[in-house]
Chain A
Amino acid sequence: MTIFSTGDRVRIKNSHPPGHRRTPFYVRGKEGIIERYCGEFKNPEELAYGFDGTPKRELYRVRLSQIELWDEYQGSSDDTLDLEIYDHWLEKVED
C-alpha cells in the first residue's frame, strides 16, 4: 500500500531547507495530481552527504497545470509539467 494513489491531488511542500534537495524551487507550494508511483528509492538528500539513503522514499510523478504554474504561460490550458517528487515533500489536498 503506497502513501498516495494515481489521481490524488497533492501539494508540494513550500519548504526551503538548506542542503541538497531534488524538489525544484519552481514547484514548491504548487498543487498537482499524482500521475504514477515510480517505486522506492534511496533518499538522495541523505546520499548526498555520505549517509546510506535509508529509509527509502516513495517516488511519485506529479502532473501540474502549466497555466497554474506560470502567470504568463503561453499555450493550451491542457499543457502540463510532469516531474518526480519524493513522498516527504508531498501532502494530500482534501477535496
Chain B
Amino acid sequence: MSSDERTTHSHDHPGTTPDVNETGYYELMAEAIKELLIEKGVVSAEDVRRNLEFLDSRDPLEGGRVIARAWEDPDFKKRLLEDGTAAVEEMGLTMGDAELVVVENTNSVHNMIVCTLCSCYPRTLLGLPPDWYKSKSYRSRAVIEPRAVLTEFGTEIPADKTVRVHDSNADMRYLVLPQRPEGTEGWSAEQLSEIVSRDSMVGVTVPVT
C-alpha cells in the first residue's frame, strides 16, 4: 500500500468535504460519522449538501433586516421581544430546531452573547459565526470579564449601565436588538439594515452611522 492510499480517502464527496487534515482527530471523527450516517441511510449526501448550501447562503443582512424592521415598527418590535421565533417567521426566516430570544439594548442595559459550551449562534439569521466567537478566549472571558472584552472591541459601556451577558448554552439562540443611532430618522429600511453589523447583533459593538 502506498502512503497516499493510507492517508487519503478512496472516494470523494465533492462540495461537501473540506480537505481533511490527517492529524485532525475531530475532523476525521466528524467525517467518519457523516459517512456512517449516509451509509446507514439516516441522512443522504444530498441532505448534507443542501444544509451546507443553506447555511452558506445565510448572511448578517438577514438579521439586519429584522433589526431595521423592529426600529421602524413598534408592533413588530413587541412581537419580536415576546416570541422571536414567530416574529422572524413573519419575515420568511426560520430558526431551524432552536428558539429565538431577542434581547433589547436600552439606555440602562447593554446585552452581549456568548456560548461557553460550544459555539451556539443564530446561524439562520447571521450565517456562520466568526472565528473569535468560537475561540476559547472569547468563550471564557465574555462571562468572566465582559467589560474588558467589550473594550477590546472598541466598545465602552458606562460604569452605571448594566452589562447583561447571555450564555447560549441550551435550546435558545440570541440576537441583540441594538439601540437605533440618533440621526437616522427618515432612513429607509434598507439604509437602516446596512448599519446593523453582525458584531452589533452579537452585542460586542453598537451600530454607528
**B159 an interface residue at 8 Å Cβ cutoff?**
yes
Which residue in chain A gives the minimum CB-CB distance to B108?
Answer: A78
Determine whether the beta carbon of B170 is less than 8 Å from that of A86: yes
Which residue in chain B gives the minimum CB-CB distance to A79?
Answer: B163
A30 → B minimal CB distance (Å)? 12
Determine the distance from Cα of A76 to Cα of B146 in the docked complex, in whole angstroms. 11
Question: Chain A contact residues (Cβ within 8 angstroms of B): what range?
Answer: 20 to 34
Determine whether the beta carbon of A81 is less than 8 Å from that of B171: no
Question: Chain B contact residues (Cβ within 8 angstroms of A): what range?
Answer: 20 to 34
Determine whether the beta carbon of A75 is less than 8 Å from that of B146: yes
Set of chain B residues within 8 Å of A59, measured between Cβ atoms = 170-172
Using an 8 Å CB-CB cutoff, how does the interface string of A64-93 with B read, 1 for contact, 0 for none? Answer: 001000100111101111111110000000
Majority-rule SS of B interface residues: mixed
Determine whether the beta carbon of B172 is less than 8 Å from that of A76: no
**A26 an interface residue at 8 Å Cβ cutoff?**
yes
Set of chain B residues within 8 Å of A79, measured between Cβ atoms = 146-147, 162-165
Q: Which of B101, B116, B163 contacts A76 (CB 8 A)?
A: B163
**B148 an interface residue at 8 Å Cβ cutoff?**
yes
**B169 an interface residue at 8 Å Cβ cutoff?**
yes
- By a beta-carbon cutoff of 8 Å, the part of chain A in contact with chain B is 22-24, 26, 38-39, 41, 44, 59, 61, 66, 70, 73-76, 78-86
- By a beta-carbon cutoff of 8 Å, the part of chain B in contact with chain A is 99, 101, 116-117, 143-148, 159-172
17 A-B residue pairs with Cβ-Cβ distance under 8 Å, sorted by A, are A22-B169, A38-B172, A70-B144, A75-B146, A75-B147, A76-B160, A76-B161, A76-B162, A78-B162, A81-B167, A82-B164, A83-B167, A83-B169, A84-B169, A84-B171, A84-B172, A85-B170
